[in-house]
Amino acid sequence: MFRSRLRRRGGTAVALLAAASLMVTLSGCGVDPLTPQEAREEAGSDNKPGGEGRRVDCAKTKCIALTFDAGPGKDTPKLLDILKEKQVPATFFLLGSKHVDRYPKVVKRIADEGHEVANHTWTHRILTDLDAAEVREELARTQDAVERITGRKPTLMRPPQGRTDDTVSEVSKELGLAQILWSITAKDYSTNDSALIEQRVLDQAHGDGIILLHDIYDGTVPAVPPIIDELKRRGFTFVTVPELLAPGKAEPGTVYRPEKD
């Protein structure tokens, strides 16, 4: 069993994403996260395919993955403009209800512009509080909605508040979804201060890191350009989550989380 513990928080809007600032709980026996480095090493040792045509080799390059949760929202088009201008790929963990179904053109644009489209459930229910059928509904509805828009089902998901267990892992495996956690968070749900969001990310940045931000909060998108510029200056290369794991492939049901340096 994983060592960390996550306490459930109350509230409404804050509770939706508050646990992004916390260590996650992997509460089920047998749920053991892999790091990106371990995913790459396992692929290499097993001589698995998947490295052909890679844009970057994260075993040799200081990579970092920029990810956004709980969108798309009203500011996502502006964010996509920024990413396009700066030639940075990102991974978007999309929320179904009132997001994917409200902004289908934005979802299609995310996919068309080469970003990774991923699953963040339908209504952001805490999956470890649900039975298998309820977990399946939360994930499958978003899978189907994204497929209708983009022609492709996601292969990655992020459990709300990072909470997962054996049941969540089993259903994720059934649906073809790997579970992606994070190692860098700006707690952008708690502030609209873009400079503070920027500083929090930069203070935590590390190789093989996964940055968690939310493109639904007013302070977040304005913080993205200086974050990108400074991390590039420090020698980081931005990648999607699948690129971070390559030549490893995100295995359905498996939990991935980087370790901080």
Report H helices in the chain.
13-17, 36-45, 76-86, 104-112, 132-150, 166-174, 194-204, 220-233, 241-245
What is the CB-side half-sphere exposure of residue 208 using CA atoms within 13 A? 18
Cβ atoms of 83 and 239 within 8 Å: the answer is no
Active site residue 144: no
Cβ atoms of 183 and 210 within 8 Å: the answer is yes
d(CA 126, CA 129): 6
Neighbours of 251 (CB within 10 A): 17
d(CA 1, CA 164): 12
β-sheet bridge partners, residue 94: 71, 119
Gyration radius from the chain CA atoms: 17
d(CA 40, CA 83): 26
- DSSP category for residue 34: B
Identify the active-site residue in 120, 208, 214, 215.
214
d(CA 95, CA 154): 12
Active site residue 69: yes
Identify the active-site residue in 69, 165, 208, 215.
69
Token duo for residue 213: 């931000």
Three-class SS state of 74 = coil
Three-class SS state of 175 = coil
Q: Which residues are catalytic?
A: 69, 214
